[in-house]
Amino acid sequence: MYIKLKSAFLSLLLFPLLWSCGSQTDSSVLRVGVQAGPELKLAEEAKKVAKEKFNLEVELITFNDYVMPNEALQQKDIDINVFQTKPYLDGQSENRGYDFAIVGNTFVYPMAGYSKKIKAISELKNENTVVIPNDPTNLGRALLLLQQSGLIKLKEDVGLLATKQDIIENKLDLNILELEAPQLPRTLDDATVSMAIINNNFAASHNLTAKQDGIIVENSSSPYVNIIVSRQDNKNDKKVLDFTKAYQSEQVDVVAEKVFKGGAIRGW
């Protein structure tokens, strides 16, 4: 909790500085919010393509959490962001009153379960501990993956935002713990944790890929394609549309294949 509050506080301190700097820059520069880590490499390639094809100057602003990129967009500290799925955006919009626009799709990054203790879910034992993300969208996504793998059963028609209260069957009586997504890779070294379900970007930053290391992995029918998001007031801005085209390019797809080792599925 302390780490989360400290991170949010520092981010809030940073944004006035960004806005102050942004007010002095050429209005032709598009400010793009992205996640630090492997996805940043894709945005860097899109930045190059945008310059080469559209003569568009792009400034990339990195974030280390899932909350502040939308806050920055709302406050106009950035022009668009590239980090989230539609279910996550829907949840944030409902909770925080955002009215954003989706201007394009990027990639599906499969969520997967990883472990340093077992090599298959058949090795899980009664009351083993499984850790999952605690933000509403990724919590629901993780529970759906556990259900897909036959480890739990959820209420019918629970949708994409399931919680632990929606579990109606847990054959192994697994101890399912919720933690902040960035902390999940470190739990793999915890002697009490049998498996951690981790988002692709945080997994990749610890040299884990769903295709090679995942014990359980989302299939290709996942609704969790990542999206490019703007405000309503700039969704038709040529800079926004040109950057979207740049991101949805063969060059970025090639980089994604290298960075994620087959763990990024084109979503456009």
Q: Is the pLDDT of residue 131 over 70?
A: yes
Q: Is the pLDDT of residue 20 over 60?
A: no
* Residue 125 Rama label (left phi>0; alpha psi -120 to 50; beta): beta
For residue 82, name the pLDDT band (cuts at 50, 70, 90).
Answer: very high
| Cα angle value 175/176/182 (rounded, 5°) | 135
pLDDT tens for residues 31-49? 999 999 889 999 999 999 9
Give the mean pLDDT of 60-73.
Answer: 96
Report pTM: 0.68
pLDDT of residue 174: 98
Residue type, 78: I
Lowest mean pLDDT segment, chosen from 21-25, 30-34, 162-166, 250-254: 21-25
- Under 8 Å between Cβ of 64 and 229: no
pLDDT tens for residues 238-265? 999 999 999 999 999 999 999 888 778 8
Give the mean pLDDT of 226-246.
Answer: 98
